[in-house]
Structure 1
Amino acid sequence: MFKIYLKIAFRNAFRYKGNSIINIAGLAIGLTCVILIALFTNDELSYDRFFNDADQVYRVNLNGKMGDDEFYAGYTPPPAGETLVANFPEIESYTRIYRPGVDVFEYSNGSEKQIFNEENVFAVDANFLEVLSYPMLKGDPIKSLQEGNSVVITNSIAEKYFGDADPLGKILFYGKERTPLNVTGVLEDMDNLQTSVEFDILVPVSNFSNVKRFNWSWVWLQMATYVKLTEKAAENPEVINHLESQFPELIRLHAANAFDRIGQPYEEFLENGNKWDLHLQALTDIHLHSNDIESAITEQNSVKNLYIFAIIALFIIILASVNFVNLATAQASKRSKEIGIRKVLGSPRIQLIKQFLAEAIFYTVVSTFLAVVLVWVFLPLFNQLAGKTINFNSIYDNGIWLFIICLSLFTALLAGIYPAFYLTSFKAANVLKGVSKVANSKDGFIRNGLVIFQFTVAIIMIIATSVVYLQLNYTKNRDLGYDKENLLVIRNAEKLDGSEKTFRSELEALSEVKNAAVSSGMLTRGSFGDFYFPEASNSDEKVAKDIILQSYLVDEHFMKTLDLKLIKGRAFDNNFNDSLSVVINEAAAKQIGWENPIGRMIQYPGGKMESYKVVGVLKDFNLESLHSHITPFALFSNTSESYETGVSYITLKVSSENIGKLMSSIEKKWNDYQPNVPFEYSFLDDDLNTAYISDQRQANLFGVFSFLTIFIACMGLLGLIAFIAQQKTKEIGIRKVLGASISEIVQMLARDFVMVIVIAMLTATPVAWYFMNKWLQDFAYKIEIPWWVFIVSGGMALVIALFTMGFQAVKAAVANPAQSLRTE
């Protein structure tokens, strides 16, 4: 019987070619979108699940509060892991990661020399590859990092330095000391893995003296710690909660000496309302559930994006199904005699229902095969838009193929079940008399309601895309508190062996360079943070609240080069001894409570307990992207002896002319000073754009899905207007004979649909406003959604709909009335 159903479905598909093309195309596009979103979601959910015992591994996070500053970070003090393992039998082992920053790697092979700056270098404990089992192509994961002079690299790094030669046993020289490191292992490239911890090179942490120097410290937060729990503990959430409940007492016992050493008794620290708490976060949660957790080590996304795309996928497949429902019910008059005759001949209703469901399955199966082909064709473009490397073979992973089959059946039911029951509800006697349910106004109401739903979704998508692009434009053009144009940032200046000032002076002498400065940090590239004891805001106060300051060490040219605005006091000046001077921003002065900060003191509890005098106050400016609030910030003179960051940048304010000539001159000078370190630079505005690349990708995807949503909706509208025009062929002919103009007939056909789209616009506006305001909460500085966005988006949908209807309506209006009235 099913074979007969399919044969009839096949014949009907060819009989009503126009509707069939619209149905198959709409369903295929909808299914393509859903499959692509499913592949994207599967890729995101797969992060860190390939590790052996992934469910037993947790990152240790620190939730800290000092004064009014509270933070949640994926960093811990160096002794945290060892202390946790020693005190809790539920924790089997720990491993740590330290990111030393950019440094030089060199390989010499006779006369040939390969020298590169490597940014993705991690210093790790010897057992790192045991706790986090990255796939190893060559070497032993247990032994490869045991020796201090070992190094493990990815396959792409091996090819970069050694070509096709076997990398094992080769020597790489690291850093300006040219420390020889023996290649003991080769890992699979990170691009082929879904991992939140991406790197190119692993070096034993024992090579870094600063880590050894701070092994006592519970306040030096430069390391990420991962712990592996016993299998029994990892299976029981109550055990993990019990573990975390014991962490405060552990810190109280073990961190007290460290806090005393920096002049801040731990009990007093807590009494002042501060906190220093450790928490466990499952390894498999890090990628999607770390929105508020600071980390420069892990790659993080937001699970909210997956929810958004899942909702988009659901709506798109519903829109495609609505097209099917609308067209099926609209052509009911064509199928009514068929149904009536079959009923008279004895066909039970259930058999007819099965027939129409079989037709829906036929259309859906054809659409699914077409959708899989479209996924194969457009996956590379989708990867480019989403910043992914999803392989088409992923369609066979993690039950995606089963999802596609279920999706196809779900779509068939969604699209076919209402028409099946609707069409089979006609009474045979009425149908054969020419009186059918087709003319029922209730059916038109339902069809109009479905069209309203389609265009409501389409308009919401248009509004969402508009808001995303407006916010992106705002972030790129907002006044950040400094002049970002034509700022050239030269990296790795610390490799100049103390000649930064001389090199800066030579560059400033170039005609294309307006200003030049040396600093330990640069906007969008991080800063060093520490906490301080400010002088009390009133002389009667005994203690002021502690404050955390993000900071740079800078020379006297920095503020002028970036055009930072000084609202009080002075900048650093060679005419003063500024080794114990500090310039703070407005946010710092406000948080401390100083109305007049000039001359006030802040004490640094590290080093020699130095006190710094405030000599200037900067107008607030953004250190990072607009996702982050402006935080308390300070500039210290690079003559200060309290700090040693080991990182240096030279920033140039340059002319926009002759950039090529200028870069050649700078690179030549660099090579004169440091021929063994590759010259690297970037422009600050490019660095800022990189900070919004995730938002840009989201905007591009929104744009594509908005286009497809409106396209699917218009396809359905095209089918409906064609049906109505055909249904009213004789009426149109009579009106033309009686003198109606073409424009009047077009208005008659389009009038009801215009009203439907206006209702959709009114429905979409409050929904879009609510959800886009929620989305904007991720930005510390955001736009107010302008009223015209809703009108323009609704207007766009209306114009597109009118254009869609207009062609078919004009075609019907200009038809020869003699053709339609010949048989009357």
Structure 2
Amino acid sequence: MLRNYIKIAWRNIIRYKTNSLLNILGLTIGLASVMLIALYIQNELSYDTAFKDADRVYRVNMKGKMGDNSFYAGYTPPPAGEALVSNFPEIESATRIYQPYNTTVAYTNGETPKAFSESEILAVDPNFLEVLSYPLLKGDAATCLQQPNSIVITPQIAHKYFGSENPLGKTLLYGEEQRPLQVTGVLTDLEQYPASVKFDILMPVANFGDVSYFNWSWVWLNMATYVKLTKQASENPDALSRLEAGFPEMLRVQAAPGFKRIGQPFDEFLEKGNYWELHLQPLKDVHLYSQDITSSITEQHDVKSLYILGIIALFIVVLACVNFMNLATVQSVKRSKEIGIRKVLGSQRAQLVKQFMTEVVCYTFFAMLLAMVLVFLLLPGFNELTGKSIAAADFFNVELVVLTLAIATITAFLAGSYPAFFLTSFNPIHVLKGKGKTTKTNGLVRNGLVVFQFCIAIALISCTLIVFTQLRYTQQKDLGFDKENVLVLNNTERLGTGENSFKEELTAIPGVRNASSSSSMLTRGQFGDFYVPKATTDEPNIASDISLGSYLVDDEFIETLDLELTEGRAFKKEFNDSLSVLLNETAVAQIGWKNPIGKQLQYPGGNMEYYTVVGVLKDFNLESLHTAIEPFALFSETSQSYESGVSYITLKISGENTVNTLGQIEKLWEGYSESAPLEYTFLDEDLSHAYQEDRRLASLFTIFTALAIVVACLGLFGLIAFTAQQRSKEIGVRKVLGASVGDIVSLLAVNFLKLVLLALILAIPIAWLAMSKWLQDFVYRIDIPLWTFVVAGALALGIALITVSFQAIKAAIANPVKSLRTE
């Protein structure tokens, strides 16, 4: 019997070619979209799951507040890990990660040295590969990082420096001082290993003096700490909450000496309403559930983007199913006599339902095969768009195969159930008499499905327009500085004592207008510490302390970036500004100064020196618009308050003949440094990089929205073709009586365009609510503009009109004699 069902299904697929093509194409697009999105979601959910004992590993996060300034970060002070292991038997071990600045790595073997600038370097504790079990191709995870002069690399780094030679035992020269490090391990290809901590090189943290120097500090937050719980603790559901309940008391004991050393007694610090807390975050949650946690060490995405993509995938496959149902109902007239005859000849309704469901399964089977081929063809481009390295083999993951088959089965059921039961419910006597189902009910269902399809399509168009409008806002908003034609030279501390001479010679290059040096640069992080404002008789009621981010800068920094001063002056050579400070408006407001010029800040973290405020900077954004402007300061590079160990030179260039200007800068650099290559970026590109994930989401929105529109139009195309065919006699009569082509097109199109307008009305609140939620991730965001809905509606109407007009014009220009003769 099944064989007979399949034969009849195949004959009907061949017989109704247009209908079959539209159905298979719609289902193919829907299933391919679901498969691609499922691959993406599977990759995102697999982060940090391959580690041994991943369920027992947690990242230690720090949450703090000082005055009006609060933060939540994936960083801890250097002594946090050891303190946790010592005080809590439930914690088996801890390991730390420190991210040094970009530097050069070289290899020489009696030949021309190979020197490259490396940015993906992490300094870690010796047990790092035991807590986070990245797989090794060569070497022993327990011993490869034990010695300070050891280094572990990826296969890509090994090939870059050593070619096909065995890298184990070879020596790489690290940094400007060319410290020799011996290769003791080679990792597997981490590009195919989904982990939130990415790197190319590992080396022992013992090589970095600033870490050991700050081992006393509980406010120097520059280390990521991971802990591993004992097996017993990880199996106890209450262990985590009990652990965190003990952290405050541990901090009172452990952090007190460090806070006292910087002039901030810890108990007094807490009594002011501040807090300093440690929290544990499961390793598997780090990648997708850290949207409020700051970290430059880990790759963090927002789980909401997966929900959005999942909803879009659901929408597209539902649209495909709706298409199938709609096209099947319009076929009811053509197949009603077939059903009536079958019933008269004794066919049971159950048999007819099986016949129609078999046809749907055949459609879905062909669509699934085509969708798989389409996915394999599109995967390279999809990887490039999303920044992933998803392999074709990932598709054959058992879970994904089961999911795909389940979606195909559900799709077949959803797409086929309504037509099957609808078509087989016809009364055979009525059908054979030409009455069939009432057109009112039939038309109401079809119209409702069209409205549903275009409601989804218009909502997706509106969301896409709003996403791009927000991204354009981030690019055009006045950030408080001039980002155009600003060139940032990285890691210029490599020039040593020659840095100042190099900077001076840069200004002699015709295309360079200004040159300045600083300890950091916008989007590159900042030095942060506590400061104590000094109360005065005229302003006694001020904040007792404040947390400030800061840069060390030269006298040209403000002019180079075109920062605006609202009060006072900038740093100048004619003044001794070693004890001067410039504050931004937010810092002045938090302190509570009405007349800040001449007021003083004490820095307990240094030598208890006082810094005099000589100027107030208009607020400007140091990071992306996802984050709020926080209290910030500029100190003169002549200040001895702290050392950053890194330097940047920022150039304001003319923008004319940029290639020639860059060539002269590179030539000048080579005269100062033979081994270290020049590294530079443009500031507007650095700022744009902060929105990379938003742009990817926008691109995915655009692609899948386009696919949703295509699927919706396929159904509309079939409906208008059916309508034109059903009304061919009416059209013929109207043409004979003098109706124009425009009249006929209007006759067929107006009702469908009314449905699209109804869909627009229903889509607006849906898109508004969804985008209001998404925009909450931006501190600085647009108000949702009404024009996005107008454009979305106009675009949907235009696409629908083109789709409808194609068939309507075809019907309108047909010879009326032929249709009348046929009838």
Please, what TM-score do these two structures have when normalized by structure 2?
0.99
- 1:822 partner SS: helix
Long gaps (5+) in structure 2: none
Is the 8 Å Cα contact of residues 76 and 225 (structure 1) preserved in structure 2? yes
- 2:263 partner SS: coil
1:66-124 per-residue CA deviation (whole Å, 9 max, x = no partner) reads 11111111011111111111111111101000111111211111122111111111110
What's the counterpart of residue 382 of structure 2? Answer: 382
Distance 1:241 1:614 in 2: 45
What's the counterpart of residue 73 of structure 1? Answer: 73
What's the counterpart of residue 113 of structure 1? Answer: 113
1:160-188 per-residue CA deviation (whole Å, 9 max, x = no partner) reads 11111110000011112211100000112
What's the counterpart of residue 763 of structure 1? Answer: 762
Instruction: Please report how far the alpha carbon of residue 540 of structure 1 lies from its aligned counterpart in structure 2 after TM superposition.
Output: 7.3
Give the stretch that moved more between structures: 366-375 or 484-493: 484-493
Distance 1:173 1:301 in 2: 35
Is the 8 Å Cα contact of residues 322 and 415 (structure 2) preserved in structure 1? yes
Distance 1:743 1:235 in 2: 74
1:778-803 per-residue CA deviation (whole Å, 9 max, x = no partner) reads 11212222211111110111011111
Letter in 2 for 1:355: Q
What's the counterpart of residue 263 of structure 1? Answer: 263
Distance 2:660 2:740 in 1: 69
Is the 8 Å Cα contact of residues 48 and 195 (structure 2) preserved in structure 1? yes
Letter in 1 for 2:707: L
Is the 8 Å Cα contact of residues 24 and 363 (structure 2) preserved in structure 1? yes
Q: Compared with structure 1, are the counterparts of its residues 538 and 299 closer, same or farther at alpha carbon in structure 2 (3 Å cutoff)?
A: farther
Letter in 2 for 1:175: G
1:469-489 per-residue CA deviation (whole Å, 9 max, x = no partner) reads 111111112111111111111
Distance 1:700 1:546 in 2: 45
Letter in 2 for 1:708: L
Instruction: Please report how far the alpha carbon of residue 658 of structure 1 lies from its aligned counterpart in structure 2 after TM superposition.
Output: 2.7
Give the stretch that moved more between structures: 715-724 or 529-538: 529-538
What's the counterpart of residue 181 of structure 1? Answer: 181
Is the 8 Å Cα contact of residues 539 and 593 (structure 2) preserved in structure 1? no
Distance 2:237 2:718 in 1: 55
1:394-424 per-residue CA deviation (whole Å, 9 max, x = no partner) reads 1112511111111110000010011111111
Distance 2:134 2:398 in 1: 20
Q: Compared with structure 1, are the counterparts of its residues 63 and 823 closer, same or farther at alpha carbon in structure 2 (3 Å cutoff)?
A: closer
- 1:109 partner SS: coil
1:432-489 per-residue CA deviation (whole Å, 9 max, x = no partner) reads 111110x330221111111001001111111111111111111112111111111111
What's the counterpart of residue 722 of structure 2? Answer: 723
What's the counterpart of residue 194 of structure 1? Answer: 194
Percent identity, aligned pairs only?
59
Q: How does 1:639-678 map to 2 (within 5 A)?
A: 639-678=638-677
Q: Compared with structure 1, are the counterparts of its residues 669 and 462 closer, same or farther at alpha carbon in structure 2 (3 Å cutoff)?
A: same
Is the 8 Å Cα contact of residues 542 and 593 (structure 2) preserved in structure 1? no
Distance 2:235 2:466 in 1: 43
- 2:228 partner SS: strand
Distance 1:492 1:170 in 2: 26
Is the 8 Å Cα contact of residues 60 and 226 (structure 1) preserved in structure 2? yes
Instruction: Please report how far the alpha carbon of residue 240 of structure 1 lies from its aligned counterpart in structure 2 after TM superposition.
Output: 0.5
1:274-312 per-residue CA deviation (whole Å, 9 max, x = no partner) reads 111100001110000000101110000000000000000
Distance 2:345 2:547 in 1: 86
The answer to whether structure 1 residue 465 and structure 2 residue 464 are counterparts is yes
Distance 1:390 1:412 in 2: 28
Please, what TM-score do these two structures have when normalized by structure 1?
0.98
Instruction: Please report how far the alpha carbon of residue 541 of structure 1 lies from its aligned counterpart in structure 2 after TM superposition.
Output: 4.2
What's the counterpart of residue 352 of structure 1? Answer: 352
Is the 8 Å Cα contact of residues 543 and 590 (structure 2) preserved in structure 1? no
Is the 8 Å Cα contact of residues 326 and 716 (structure 1) preserved in structure 2? yes
The answer to whether structure 1 residue 592 and structure 2 residue 591 are counterparts is yes
The answer to whether structure 1 residue 509 and structure 2 residue 511 are counterparts is no
Q: Compared with structure 1, are the counterparts of its residues 357 and 545 closer, same or farther at alpha carbon in structure 2 (3 Å cutoff)?
A: farther
Distance 2:146 2:362 in 1: 62
Q: How does 1:285-684 map to 2 (within 5 A)?
A: 285-437=285-437, 439-536=438-535, 541=540, 544-684=543-683
What's the counterpart of residue 4 of structure 2? Answer: 4
Distance 1:238 1:17 in 2: 63
Is the 8 Å Cα contact of residues 121 and 199 (structure 2) preserved in structure 1? yes
Letter in 2 for 1:77: P
What's the counterpart of residue 39 of structure 1? Answer: 39
Long gaps (5+) in structure 1: none
Is the 8 Å Cα contact of residues 289 and 301 (structure 1) preserved in structure 2? yes
Distance 1:792 1:374 in 2: 31
Letter in 1 for 2:330: A
Letter in 2 for 1:757: V
Instruction: Please report how far the alpha carbon of residue 323 of structure 1 lies from its aligned counterpart in structure 2 after TM superposition.
Output: 0.4
Give the stretch that moved more between structures: 580-589 or 542-551: 542-551
Q: Compared with structure 1, are the counterparts of its residues 87 and 271 closer, same or farther at alpha carbon in structure 2 (3 Å cutoff)?
A: same
Distance 1:787 1:608 in 2: 57
Is the 8 Å Cα contact of residues 537 and 593 (structure 1) preserved in structure 2? no
Q: Compared with structure 1, are the counterparts of its residues 632 and 537 closer, same or farther at alpha carbon in structure 2 (3 Å cutoff)?
A: farther
Instruction: Please report how far the alpha carbon of residue 627 of structure 1 lies from its aligned counterpart in structure 2 after TM superposition.
Output: 1.4
Q: Compared with structure 1, are the counterparts of its residues 296 and 797 closer, same or farther at alpha carbon in structure 2 (3 Å cutoff)?
A: same
Instruction: Please report how far the alpha carbon of residue 189 of structure 1 lies from its aligned counterpart in structure 2 after TM superposition.
Output: 2.7
1:506-552 per-residue CA deviation (whole Å, 9 max, x = no partner) reads 11122221111010011111111112112347757477242111110
Letter in 2 for 1:238: D
Distance 2:431 2:236 in 1: 65
Is the 8 Å Cα contact of residues 97 and 123 (structure 1) preserved in structure 2? yes
- 1:215 partner SS: helix
Distance 1:600 1:127 in 2: 48
Is the 8 Å Cα contact of residues 537 and 544 (structure 1) preserved in structure 2? no
Instruction: Please report how far the alpha carbon of residue 333 of structure 1 lies from its aligned counterpart in structure 2 after TM superposition.
Output: 0.8
Letter in 2 for 1:78: P
Distance 1:540 1:554 in 2: 29
- 2:596 partner SS: coil
Distance 1:235 1:435 in 2: 69
Distance 2:141 2:256 in 1: 37
What's the counterpart of residue 273 of structure 2? Answer: 273
1:363-395 per-residue CA deviation (whole Å, 9 max, x = no partner) reads 011100110000011111111111111111111
What's the counterpart of residue 794 of structure 1? Answer: 793
Is the 8 Å Cα contact of residues 456 and 763 (structure 1) preserved in structure 2? yes
Is the 8 Å Cα contact of residues 520 and 554 (structure 1) preserved in structure 2? yes
Letter in 1 for 2:310: A
Distance 2:59 2:497 in 1: 38
Give the stretch that moved more between structures: 591-600 or 157-166: 591-600
User: Post-superposition, which runs of at least 4 consecutive aligned residues in structure 1 deviate over 3 A?
Assistant: 536-543
What's the counterpart of residue 735 of structure 1? Answer: 734
What's the counterpart of residue 812 of structure 2? Answer: 813
Is the 8 Å Cα contact of residues 96 and 224 (structure 1) preserved in structure 2? yes
Is the 8 Å Cα contact of residues 543 and 592 (structure 2) preserved in structure 1? no
Would you say how many aligned residue pairs link Structure 1 and Structure 2? 823
What's the counterpart of residue 236 of structure 1? Answer: 236
Distance 1:684 1:526 in 2: 14
Give the stretch that moved more between structures: 669-678 or 579-588: 669-678
Is the 8 Å Cα contact of residues 123 and 203 (structure 1) preserved in structure 2? yes
Is the 8 Å Cα contact of residues 95 and 127 (structure 2) preserved in structure 1? yes
Q: Compared with structure 1, are the counterparts of its residues 812 and 787 closer, same or farther at alpha carbon in structure 2 (3 Å cutoff)?
A: same
Distance 2:153 2:212 in 1: 24
Give the stretch that moved more between structures: 663-672 or 308-317: 663-672
What's the counterpart of residue 206 of structure 2? Answer: 206
- 1:324 partner SS: helix
